[in-house]
Structure formats: C-alpha cells, structure tokens
Structure 1
Amino acid sequence: MSTLSLVVGLLLTTADAQASTPGGTATVPLDQLIPLYAQREAPKPAPPPTEALVKSQLKGRLSSEALLVDGHFDVEVLADGRWTQVRLLQLDADTYPSELPTLEDATVGVVDGYLCLLTRKAGRYAFDVSLSVRSPGAGPERRAQLRFGPQVSPVPLALEADTSVFTLMEPLPASASEAYAVYPVQGSLRVGWRAAVAQGAQKPQVRPPLEPRITEAHASWVSTLEGRATLRVSYSLSLDREQPLELELPEGHRLERVTLNAIPVPVEAQEGVLKLKAAPARLGETGGTLEVVLARELGVFHLSGRLKLALPRVSWPVAELRARAHFPAVFNYRREGGSLEQVEAATVAEAASSGLPGKELSFRQYLVAASAPTLELGYSVDISNSYFR
C-alpha cells in the first residue's frame, strides 16, 4: 500500500494544552490528518459583559393600610445556554406579590427574598407584576418601603393619591399625568401617608333626597260625534325613592284605570282626589311613568257650540305639558280660552301615525304648578268641502 506520509509537528501554543499533552512528533497519513484538522474545536466566544439589562416602570396607589404597586419590566437576557437569575425587587416581610406573569422560556417568582426572572435562554422578556406593600404597625400614619434588586437601576414611582382621602407625610412633586413622583433614595422608594379623616370618625355620606317632579306630560282627548270622550294622560316622573302623589280629577270625569311603571294599580278616587305612592321603575334609578285614563260625557255635538276641557291637577310641578285633541272631523275648531296654548297642527303623516280618528289639534303649556290646565274650544260645522256654500 503506497501512501504518501507526512510528518507533521504539532506545536501546542496554550499553556493548558502544553501541560496536558506530551510533546513529540507523529507520522499520520494525509487522508486521516485532514478529517482530524476539520474536527478541531473552535475557540469559545467571550462571555457577555453582563448577564442581563433591565428597564422598569412603576406605578402606585394608596389604600388605608398598604401601598399597591404595578410594575412593568423589560428584561434583555444576554447569557445563553446556562441558567440566569435576574433579581428585580427585594421583598421584605411586608411585601407580597399579588399578580405574577406566565412567560414562555422563563419563570418569574420569589427566590431567596427577591422577585426574580429565571431563564436559560437568551432573549427579551416583557411582563407586568403587582405587589402589595403593607405598612407595619397601626394608627392613622402609615409608611411603606420598596427596595430594588441589585440588577435593576432605581426609577421613580408614579403615585396616584386622592388628597381628599389621604394626606402625604411629605410634599412630593406632581407630574403631568396628575400623579406624584416618588424618587428613590439609596435604592429604595419610601412613601408616608395618613387618612385625611380618622377611620372611626368617618360618617356615611347620605345623598340628599331628589325633589320629585314631572319632567314631561302628554295628554290626549278623543271624542265621538255622540259626545263620549276619553282622556288619557301620561306623566314622566323624576324621583329617587317612594313619594306620595295626588291627582285631583276634573269635574264630570270618572276614573277608568291607573298604571304605574306599566303595572295596573288598584286605586279609587276619594271625593275626586286620587292618592297613590309613586316609586322609580327600578331600584337605583330616578325615573318612572304614570298613566291615568278618564272618561266623560261631553253631550251631543250641535251645529255649533263650546267645549270646556280640563286636565287633572297634580301635586308635583310639571316642566312641560303637551296635549292633543281628536274631535269629529265635520266641525271646525277654534281656541277661545284656557291656559293651554295652541301650536301648529301636526302634519297629515303624524296624525295618521297616531291611529286616532278625527281632526287633531295640538296644545302645550310650560311650568305647571298646583293648577289644573284648562282649554275652551268653539266649534261649528265645517262646510269647506260642501257643494253648496
């Protein structure tokens, strides 16, 4: 077997290699030397100057007994292939993590009294944590301290404090976001506060009662040619609790039915006065509805005549009242008196949408208080569409 042999002298340059490898020469065939040369170990890369870089933002708010902190951390881990522990915050005896994140390829937890990020893979990890820093001791004055870990640069704390509830123990600069800036001192954030009013001296706030009133009322008269008329009045109530309400019915009217918040109410008028208890439609709301239906005999319509109409007198003030009259179409009607003022008649489309027969007349009155709105109408036969004029 003819093989080109080559004598190669291996010069060992590193001190470790010189100590562990004996010196000398060896004769190796060329076809075996080339694979050995290709398999030589590459030099290891230099380790990073630091294991990780950390950016952080902290926000806080006060409670009666603790400082509540929300922190955002952006950690850039440089070391790879081995475990890296980044100490973020030091947890004293009165500091408790209330919310910790779940990360991929990393873990955030408490190790040896520190809030730490643990990973063995290089990369960027962004996450949020929440802490509760309780104030030791008792009494109205409270103090809390939060210390940074050795691998985190101290940053200010943006503190939200309601000065009507809490008084800060020392003046703090205010930031543009309507929060106070607490700057670290010797790697720690310290906050002191006390309640503006002692806890035992606080009295429950009682909201003054809402003055009951009627924001809007809608009334409608509907009459046949024989004079049988129906009056329907709907009231929009404004109140925050059960309140007494009285309605004095107009003379000559009889009560058909009453509904409160769309529920029929079994009440009867006593000597023309209807007394009931009004309440909001739902608990905690400030609105309700009341509907009253009355009936009356106007008498047979003649060729001409006068109609005297009236609405119930309500014990609550009425901000705005709108009324409509639907009377036989064979007559012309004109307002001749009363507190209700006539307004422009509704359009044909609006009249048709109401579904009520006859001619429609519209009226309104503002600021009705302790009085019964009235209306006087004169009527005469309408001959505008007759053949003989």
Structure 2
Amino acid sequence: MWSSSLVLGLLLTATPTPSGSATVPLQELIPLYVERQAPPPPTEALVVQSQLKGHLTPEALLVEAHFEVEVLTSDRWSRVQLLQLGPGVYLTGLPTLEGAAVGALEGQLCFVSQKPGRYSFDVRLTVRPSEPGPEHSAELRYGPHAVPVPLRLEADTNAFTLLEPQSIGTPTLDVYPRQGAIRVRWSSVAAPAVARQTARPPLEPSIPEAQASWVSTLEGKATVHLRYALKLDREQELELELPQDLHLKQVLLNALPLVATEKDGHVRVKVAPARLGETEGTLEVMLAQELGSLHLSGQLRLTLPRVAWPVASLSVQAHLPAVFNYQREGGSMEQYESSEQEAPASQALPGKVLHFRQFLMAASAPTLELGYSVDISQSYFR
C-alpha cells in the first residue's frame, strides 16, 4: 500500500497566525478541496424587470406585458411562474426565444430554460370580464415568482367610465396591485341621443395592408402568422381559401379569439370594426405548414391564403434556418432590402431574415419560390 502526500500551507484566521507546514495524506486532502468549492446560487432564476401596459375596449382589457428573467444555473431546468391564467385570461401573443420557452403550464404563464443568461420578451393577453352586464370587471393575478408592479392603463374618458380605480379625468393612470392582483372595473359611456342620423353609403370592404411572418425550422416545420388591416363599416363575412399544405391553428379578431372552422380549405369568419362607429379592424390568422425534410439543397414554396377582399399591399418576413443560402426563383412576391425601422422587429426571431412584398392583389393567392443550398462561407475547408 502506497500513499501520496502533499505539503499544504494552512492559512489560519486566529491571532497569532502560526507558520510552518504539515504533511497530509492525499485521501484526506481531497475532501478539503471539495469543501472549498463555491456554493450553488440561492435560486435557479430571478425576474429582474416587469412592465404591464393595457387599454380598455368595450368588451375586454388588453394587456402587453414585458419581462426580463435572469437564469443563474444550468444544473437543472428553471421554471418561473409569471402570471396566473385564470378564467377569462387568454394568451394572444407569445415570443420565440433561443434557449428558452414561454407558454401556459398548469394554469400559469411560465418561462422555462436550462441555459444561463438574461432573457427579455413580451407577451400579449386579453382579459375578458367575469360576468356580463353594463359594468365590466377584469382581474389579472401575478404568479408566485413575479414581483407585482402597477399596470399603466389607457382609457378613453369619452368612451369609458372607470369605476375601479376611479379616474381623475386623465386618459392614462397607474393601477396598483392589491393582494397580488390587478383589478379594473369600468362601464361604457352611453352615446348621446341623436334626433336625426344622416345615412351614408355603405363602405366597400378592403384590406389596405397585410403583414405575414413565415418561420421555418430544419425539421421542415413552419408557422405562418398573417395580420390583415381591415377597412369596413359594419359586420361582414370574410372568406379565406387556404392552400393544401397550410392548416388553420387560431384566428383573432381585434385581438380577441374567434371561433372559426375550416371546411374543404375554406375559412369563413364574421369580421367587424374594433369599435362601434369606426371603420378599422384587424384579423390575425395563425397557420401551420409541413415542408418535409430539408436536404443539402432544394426548393421551398410558400403560398399564402387567397382573400376575397382586395389587398393593397402585403409584406412578408421569412425567418429561415441559418445553415442555408437562399435565392428567389419565382412567385408573385418580390424580394427587397428592409429599412432601418423594420430591423428591430426581425431580430425577435432566429435564423436568416428575408423580406418580400406584393401590391394590388384581388382574389389571388401570393406565392414565393426559394432555392436553398448549404452555406459553406463559414466552413474551414473551402
């Protein structure tokens, strides 16, 4: 049996400090080094910043939430519970993060990650009143890991009367949380009686502007998010014809979930202005697409839905895997270089970003054909 020994200088805090050396066996020295290792962090992750903004509609409270989360450890998965998704609370906009995910889990809006670092993201929610009636009441409750912060509320005093908290006549005010929850109670201001209304000719419905986001992964799965700006003066039916490779996931009308069914590739929805008496509204359509496996080179095809109403302009952002080079080979949409104002919006999603657009579409389906091949510009052997 052999033993290995090292000379260990012992630094002592007692006064006086003795000097000298000692010979310690290796099997006794190793536990001393293990005890000197840095302790783990006191928690897995922290919410370092929270901001809430909201504005009222006749039927709901629309909330935009901004969070910054710091992940401190990579030994295990970190889960941060931000907001409670109680009855009447709907998620209408979620971010896509690299190395993390944000979504609904066990009745909570949760952030999940195993990669240390700081993550900044935005979430959109719709809080519907708990009971119908002339007075509306909405509640948004914080999760156990979030620090309650006030909600910056925008309310048109000409259209709404704030009952809780009471307004002092300003269009914006801070709603402070009570017992871990934000509570807002309001009623719509009755329109003044008009002795005589002047009839106006009906407005021809149209779509002045449309935006699309196409996100593809290496596994050949893609998501398409379409946002149509509507121009109309009353409730009307809008029909969309979906290509065979696109499948309907969700529809939002004026940021509120809308029940829509797909039959034989046709989707018919009832659309209306965002507010009574106005002529503007928004329709958001989320679609899924199966592209199949991506090879070393090939071709990608994107066909957007055909809309029954005329569309003045369409802009598309394509977020594609960064391992390929892409070249437009055909289709009705033309490629263009993005401006500086569009750059921040394109940085929210990973991958290479390409921009396309098309003008003056009437009952036609926009198309795009892209050729791709492996990008070897960063390879060692060229």
The TM-score by the shorter chain falls in which range? Answer: 0.3 to 0.5
Higher CA-based Rg:
1
TM-score, structure 1 normalization: 0.47
